[in-house]
Structure 1
Amino acid sequence: MRVLPRMGRGGAVLTALLLLVLGLPALIGLLGGFERTDGGQIAVVRNGGFFDNTRIRQVIDPGSGRVWVGWWSKVHKYPAQQRFYTITSNLGESTRGGGGVDVVTVPSSDGVNMGIEGTLYFTLNLDHEVLKKFDDKFGTRKFRSSSGHSYYAWQDEGGWSAFLNQIVRPVIDNNLRSQINSFRCAELVSSCALVQNTGSNGRRQTTSIQAQSNNGNIAKVQNAINVQLANDLRATLGGDFLTNIHFNLVRVTLPAQVQQAVDRAQAAFAQVTEAQARVDQAKLEAAANKARQDGYNRCPTCAEIEKLKALPQGITVYAPGNPSGALFPRD
């Protein structure tokens, strides 16, 4: 009977190292070969093994159970629910991030820069074939965020926001610029008429633009944006990757310098109105006095009667001919 030689200590260590090097990746690949999605996620799975290609393997629908996705595959998870992109001057609430305010500044047709705030609502197209094309085009490259870091679009909220800021935001800005440029400032912000309808003599001039509610014009802008934005996003992205697109125009504001001019104009018009009221009152009082005096001239007796009515109470004798104009009170 042949006896095999006992393995030395060095051989045992080498064997352990081989098992560790070969077994650990296999164990990691096995444990990582199962994946699932939450209710608000959809996932695109790409091959990623040592000897495999990187093509798309499958798509996992939202709220799935744990499924086998293959050894060392890469899973790109995207939002499956309605999302939004917010442009706002409220500190720290914009999708662009960075902790500051975010307002799109575009000129009106008469050259006034106007601040636009609003929110774009949309949903990622969940059709498997469309989503695969989206991942091929946008899931395999990185996008720079406002903080300067680069992320994949599927890389949590930071990556999704970076994708929106770099790809979708320019389309929104262009649409807002195109639509706002077809309206005059006063057609969107009533108070703009206060500084535009003023002539060199300081008086308001009558124009076809009235300072009134502009909700109708804002609705026109919003509707036009919704129609054009869907077309532009399709053309820019190269497919119907975003659906249920709706832009809600929240606020249109004036630049600080223009708003200050509006405030000054409002104060000036208030002072003019007050002064005009005093002038009108004086004219009315003068007209009333003239009419009263004309009546007294035609009826001297009436004038005397009015004088007697005006005497203080308690006076019994009135001597208009007395040089001292004496009034004799009651005893």
Structure 2
Amino acid sequence: MRTFRIVAAVALAFVVTSVGMWAGFGKTSGGEVAVVRNGGMFDNNRIRMVIQPASGVTWIGLWSSMHRYPAQQRYYTMTADPQRGGRPGIDLARSPSKDGVEMGIEATMYFTLNLDPGVLKTFDEKYGTRQYRYGNDDLKYAWEGVDGWNAFFDGAVRPVIDNALRFHIGTATCAELVSSCALLQNSAANPEGQNATVSRIESAINAGLGADIERNLGGPFLQGIRFNLVRVTLPGPVQEAVTKAQAAYAGVSEAQAKVAQAQAEAEANKKRQEGYNACPACAQIDMIKALPPGVTTYAPGSGVSVG
């Protein structure tokens, strides 16, 4: 019995050691970078190394863990399409215009993670050791796949984007951002043009967003930041009012067109009658031309008939 216990203990130690040895190797794919932390019962949890993208098999130590982060260009999208947004479901950024209308904003931010080893170590210390809420209940680390990264971005970076949008969208009126808004406000048309206004705001956000994010995150963790403001939309009730106003204007235009047509027809009839008064025979000729096919005799009266 004692011999069996010894053999079992040795076998168990061999299995544990083998598993640990096998788990002691790691590598990265072409689209990820990894921060390796020590592990195991008798080791600390400090950062051991950084493995750059597309590495070969690397010895990372017994029971060490790899925090894998995206190494290629990433993007974060705010959109009404529930299949494309950085958050689950519909994700429109919302910010009030200068005149207080709550605008819906669709936009995308492009960026890459700074792959400098020293910067990555600092990033993992600050943001890789805590969890972020994703959806309603899930908590995820930033290195736990796409959902984990989006959870980190939504918690740490999204507030900076929202703040920039709030400031710059607030410099323009509703009519300057969405031309049809002028229908409800009886305001003059935007002399700058809607596209020019959106482009101006986009440029202003790009000029300061990178510095704002670096300052709020506490380091140059994100690089190549480019913000693309796709479009600005009206809230549901306002858009419904605009649609009704547009329909009303269309009805007015249609009525005006009918009036113009009736006036033109009356003027034509007047001119035609003046011609008949000057040439009574012309009126008879036109009447004969207007007869339907198959009529063989025309008797306009006064003893006159035409066969």
TM-score (normalizing by structure 2): 0.86
Aligned residues: 296
Deviates more, 1:186-195 or 1:237-246: 186-195
Given that 1:314 and 1:329 are in contact with CA atoms closer than 8 Å, whether structure 2 keeps it comes out as no
Q: Distance in 2 between matches of 1:93 and 1:282?
A: 53
Distance (Å, rounded) in 2 between the aligned partners of 1:70 and 1:81: 26
- Partner of 1:154 in structure 2? 143
Name 1:305's counterpart in structure 2.
278
**CA, structure 1 residues 232+327, in 2 after alignment: closer, same or farther (shift >3 Å)?**
farther
RMSD over aligned CA atoms reads 2.6
SS at match of 1:311: helix
SS at match of 1:72: coil
1:288 is displaced (CA, Å) by: 7.1
Cα drift, residue 262 of structure 1: 1.2
Equivalent residue number for residue 326 of structure 1: 302
Match 2:6 to one of 10, 15, 33:
15
How far apart are the structure 1 equivalents of 2:269 and 2:36? Answer: 94
Query: How much does 1:28 deviate?
Result: 2.2
Letter in 2 for 1:124: L
- How far off its partner does 1:140 sit? 0.9
Q: How far is the alpha carbon of 1:291 from its aligned partner?
A: 8.3
Identify the residue that residue 6 of structure 1 maps to in structure 2. Answer: none
Do the aligned residues in 2 keep the contact of 1:43 with 1:59 (CA within 8 Å)? yes
| Aligned residue type for 2:79 | T
Q: Counterpart in 2 of 1:195?
A: 184
Structure 1 position 283, deviation (Å): 5.0
Asked whether the 8 Å contact 1:86–1:118 carries over to 2, the reply is yes
Measure the CA separation in 2 of the matches of 1:20 and 1:303: 121
Residue 16 of structure 1: CA displacement? 2.1
Q: Determine the C-alpha separation between the residues in 2 that align with 1:196 and 1:283.
A: 33
Which residue is equivalent to 1:200? none
Equivalent residue for 2:80?
A: 89
Gap change, CA 1:314 and 1:192, over 3 Å in 2: closer
Alignment correspondent of 2:134: 145
1:279 has 2:255 as partner: no
Does residue 56 of structure 2 align to residue 75 of structure 1? no
Deviations 1:81-124 (A, max 9, x none): 01111111113221212xx2111121111111111112111100
In 2, Cα distance between equivalents of 1:44 and 1:30:
19
Shift of 1:284: 5.5
Alignment of 1:161-200 (within 5 A): 161-197=150-186
Quote the residue 2:106 is aligned against.
117
Q: Distance in 1 between matches of 2:287 and 2:169?
A: 76
| Residue 327 to residue 135, structure 1, CA distance change in 2 (3 Å) | farther
The answer on 1:239 being equivalent to 2:219 is yes
**Structure 1 residues not aligned, in runs of 5+:** 1-9, 198-204, 297-301, 316-323
CA contact (8 A) 1:84 1:119 kept: yes
Taking the aligned partners of 1:146 and 1:225, their CA distance within structure 2 comes to 27
Call closer, same or farther: CA 1:160–1:208 in 2, change over 3 Å: closer
Question: CA 1:13/1:264 → structure 2, altered by over 3 Å: closer, same or farther?
Answer: same
User: In structure 2, do the counterparts of structure 1 residues 314 and 190 end up closer, same or farther at CA, with 3 Å as the change threshold?
Assistant: closer
Counterpart of 2:92 in structure 1 is 103
Distance in 2 (CA, whole Å) between partners of 1:24 and 1:141 is 32
* 2: CA distance, partners of 1:54 / 1:183: 51
**Given residue 163 of structure 2, which amino acid in structure 1 is its aligned partner?**
N
- TM (norm. structure 1) is 0.81
Alignment partner, residue 320 of structure 1: none
- For 1:264 and 1:18, locate their aligned partners in 2 and report how far apart those are by CA, in whole Å: 81
Moved more, 212-221 or 241-250: 212-221
1:249 corresponding residue in structure 2? 229
1:13/1:93 CA distance change after superposition, 3 Å: same
* Identity rate, percent: 49
The answer to whether the Cα contact below 8 Å between 1:45 and 1:76 also exists between their aligned partners in 2 is yes
Partner of 2:33: 42
Deviation at 1:21, TM superposition (A): 4.5
- The alignment partner of 2:67 has SS state of strand
SS state of the match for residue 49, structure 1? coil
Q: Which of 51, 56, 64 lines up with 1:60 in the alignment?
A: 51
CA distance in 2, matches of 1:275, 1:166: 54
Aligned partners of 1:76 and 1:292: how far apart in 2? 90
Give yes or no for contact 2:276–2:283 (8 Å, CA) kept in 1: no
